[in-house]
Amino acid sequence: MSSQSIPQQAPAPPLPRLGEITETVTNTIFGKAPLWWLIAFGISSALAGAFVLVLGAVALFGTGLWGINVPIVWGMGITNLVFWIGIGHAGTFISAFLLLMRQSWRNAFSRYAEAMTLFALATAGMFPLFHVGRPEWIFYFAPYPNTMILNPQWLSPLVWDAIAISTYGGISAIFWFLDLIPDIAAMRDKAKRPIPRAFYGFLALGWRSDSNHWERLHKTAYILAALATPLVISVHSVVGLDFAIGNLPGWHHSIFPPYFVAGAIFSGLAMTVIVGIVLRSGYEGLKDFITMDHIDKALKLMLITGLLVTYGYMAETFGGWYKADAFELPLIIERAIGPYAPFYLAMLFFNCILIQLLWFKPVRKNIALILVICVGILIGMWLERFVIVSVSLSYTYLAPTWEVFNFTFWDILTIFGPFGFFFAQFLVFIRFLPSLPISETQQHAVEVAHA
């Protein structure tokens, strides 16, 4: 596939001079921390603190602090794990998938979307660790050599999960860092004081903008992108398998893997757009780079994935009805009209109905509406995870064992705390590392100018 065959869809933004791009981006770092950043960081840190408190308390006193029980053995831990891994998905999708597709408009998003991936994964990674009853023995998941020749149980999707997520995390980190190298070098060159210069100099790994460097970097990036792209599909598919392999009426669906991937990209893009809008309004200068046009494209993608998710809901419900499964029908009915109805109906509203607004161009240009829709999607997708994980668990095969999930104080903290944890990491990142890929944006600008 050659680059010429791909039509350049992005209409030309007002083209800044290349030096200005570097200037604008580095200014966000070397300038004084703006007030909004300090406030945002303060709030995020407080929430992150609450998250650490939850994890510490759960580790100390037991997972019983959460509202889980038998049969609803999985609650906030797994719901949030799936949700946050999903948030991470958009990053890799944008940076790797679109790179392979030579969609160079992606550049404005790619850096911070990749960073989001990492931080979302770091957030998600907390959950399986503290979700288990005895985190101190979690290393039993690893096939470490031992005298009893005890291995993990390879049939278990949780083992596949551990492998898939750690691979994904590793590749994403490398990919992200490789991309950063030229920009860190630019930061090093721009830095005036010795400590920042040493800091960026160390991270720049001796980058000299040599054409050999560029060639190798590009090759490696493409190879890694080729490696990472299947991971976008596989990671959330494997997460979907956790449920599809299980024989619970609400879980045992072959549609889960693709439907999980679509949902992950859906929620990930929503988070990306929210963060993009925040960055745009926070740093005036970035408005020229993260344009409304970019956001428009992301919103269209969201609409597509949202429709896929909607199809998933329909297929799941239809399948349950069509096969007349005596055990699945009560679940389908109960979750729509039973005690969980508010959750389920809100999920349908946010994920299926609200997004229909995105068909309309004026909506896609209205920042306030976009924010509302994207936050709605985040809520909807969180609810979807909750419906799949905990609501399904409430309607087991045997009706005498049915229970209803009760949210405790700790559950509520577990829902909101991770957002603080995620944003605190993200805010540190935009404060110390270039949040836009300088060189790639420059390249894109040149390409657009030449087109």
Partner 1 sequence: MSNNTDQDKRQPSLADSVRDLAEREDFEQILMEHDPRLAAVLKQRGMDRRSFLKMMGASLVLAGLQGCVTASAPGEAIIPYVRMPEEVIAGEALMFASSMVLSGFATGLLIETHEGRPHRIEGNPDHPASLGGSDLYTQGSILELYNPNRSTLTRGEGAVRSFREFRDALAAVLPGDGSGLRILTETISSPTLAAQWQAIQQRYPNARWHQYEPVNNDNEVAGMELAFGQAVRPVFTFENADVVVSLDANFLNGMPGSLAYARQFMDQRRIREGSDSMNRLYAVESTPTPTGSMADHRLALAASQVDSFTRALAGAFGISAGSGETTWDGAWFDALVADLEAHRGSSLIIAGPQQPPQVHALAAALNDALGNVGSTLTYIESPIVNPLVQAEDFASLVSDMQAGSVQVLLIIGGNPAFSAPADVAFVEALGSVPFSAHLSLYFDETSELCSWHIPQSHYIETWSDARAFNGAYSVVQPPIGPLYDRTRSPIQMFALLLDDFRSPHDIVRSTWEQAFAAVPNFEAFWNATVHDGVAPNTASPAASVSLSGAVASTVSSIAAAGSGTEIIFRPAPTLFDGRFAWNTWLQELPQPLTSISWDNAALMSPATAASLNVTEGNLVSLTVDGNSMEVPAFIIAGHPDDSVTVSLGYGRGLSAELDRRQNFNAYTIRPNGSPWIASGQVSRAGGRYDVTVIRSTSDGVNLDAMVRFGTLAEFVANPEFAKSKPKDVNLLPGFTYDENAWGMSIDLTACIGCNACILGCQTENNIPNVGKDAVENGREMYWLRVDAHQVSEGGQDQNYFQPVPCMHCENAPCEQVCPVQATVHDNQGLNQMVYNRCVGTRYCSANCPYTVRRFNYFDYIDPADIALEWRNPDVSVRVEGVMEKCTFCVQRINAARAISIQNNEAIPDGAIVPACAAACPTQAIVFGDVNKDGSQVAELKAQPHNYGMLEELNTFPRTTYLARLSNPNEALHDSEEGE
Binding residues for partner 1 (CB under 8 A): 61-64, 67-74, 131-135, 137-138, 140-141, 150-153, 155-159, 162, 242, 245-248, 326-327, 330, 393, 396-403, 406
Q: Could you tell me the smallest distance in angstroms from the CB atom of residue 51 to partner 1?
A: 20
Q: Could you tell me the smallest distance in angstroms from the CB atom of residue 246 to partner 1?
A: 5
Q: Could you tell me the smallest distance in angstroms from the CB atom of residue 356 to partner 1?
A: 34
User: Toward partner 1, which CB reaches closer, 138 or 346?
Assistant: 138
Q: Could you tell me the smallest distance in angstroms from the CB atom of residue 362 to partner 1?
A: 46
Q: Could you tell me the smallest distance in angstroms from the CB atom of residue 97 to partner 1?
A: 30
Give yes or no for a contact between 13 and 448, defined as CB atoms under 8 angstroms apart.
yes
Q: Could you tell me the smallest distance in angstroms from the CB atom of residue 258 to partner 1?
A: 22
User: Toward partner 1, which CB reaches closer, 116 or 238?
Assistant: 238
User: Toward partner 1, which CB reaches closer, 115 or 164?
Assistant: 164
User: Toward partner 1, which CB reaches closer, 137 or 322?
Assistant: 137
User: Toward partner 1, which CB reaches closer, 127 or 419?
Assistant: 127
For residue 218, the tally of other CB atoms under 10 A from its CB is: 12
Q: Could you tell me the smallest distance in angstroms from the CB atom of residue 150 to partner 1?
A: 7
User: Toward partner 1, which CB reaches closer, 27 or 153?
Assistant: 153
Cis preceding-peptide flag for 339 (omega within 30 of 0): no
User: Toward partner 1, which CB reaches closer, 238 or 374?
Assistant: 238
